[in-house]
Amino acid sequence: MSDTNIIKDLKSKGLKLNNSRMQILELFLGNHRSHSAPELVELLKMKMDRATVYRNLNFFVENKILDQIQLQGETPKYELAALEHHHHLICKHCKKISSIQSKSLENALETTTNEIKDFTITDHVFEFYGLCKDCLNNEE
């Protein structure tokens, strides 16, 4: 979905996009990366209050515009809600997050789901930690 479609989609859901919400959304549309709440509060500190940032992040998550993702040992991050199912690669060195899709993983998930008898899996989170190419090259 393109950026303008995201906005259309919001309106079709009857959601109101006022100034504050637009400014938060623009940050995400501008770089398609993930941001933590404290990071956004800092970026927007001259434009709106901390409470407004938090309230609108929650609003976006409730309305499935943003996903909240919780990586190991970090404060939650937000990213544009995934249209395609994907997983995260987190560089332990530079902390950059990239995403992947893997057919073999999804197949294995299906197998696992069927294997398990006394639990019904409805959702899953796979996270991969390691080193991105840049950090691997610029090794210290």
Partner DNA sequence: ATTGCTGCAAATCCTTTGCAATGTA
Partner DNA sequence: TACATTGCAAAGGATTTGCAGCAAT
What residues form the annotated binding site? 85, 91, 94, 106, 124, 132, 135
Residue 50: which residues within 8 A CB-CB, separation 6 or more?
Answer: 41
Residue 4 as a binder of DNA (CB under 7 A): the answer is no
76 binds DNA (CB under 7 A): yes
Look at residue 84 and give its three-state secondary structure.
coil
- For residue 108, CA distances in Å to 102, 105, 115, 130 come to 10, 5, 10, 21
Main-chain dihedrals φ then ψ at residue 47, nearest 5 degrees: -100, -30
Q: Which is nearer to DNA, 54 or 131 (CB)?
A: 54
Residue with tokens 């040992």: 73
**21 in contact with DNA (CB under 7 A):** yes
Q: Which one of residues 4, 14, 51, 103 is an interface residue with DNA (CB under 7 A)? A: 51
Residue 23: both structure tokens together: 């400014």
Q: CB of residue 33 vs DNA: minimum separation in angstroms? A: 17
The site string for a second copy over 121-140 (x = CB under 8 A, - otherwise) reads xxxxxxxxxxxxx--x----
Q: Report whether 66 contacts 52 (CB < 8 A).
A: no
Cβ closest to DNA, residue 22 vs residue 100: 22
Do residues 74 and 90 make contact, with C-beta atoms less than 8 angstroms apart?
Answer: no
Question: What, of a second copy, DNA, none, does residue 9 touch, CB below 5 to 8 Å by kind?
Answer: none
Which residues of this chain interact with DNA, rule CB under 7 A?
16, 18-21, 36-38, 41, 47-52, 54-56, 58, 75-76
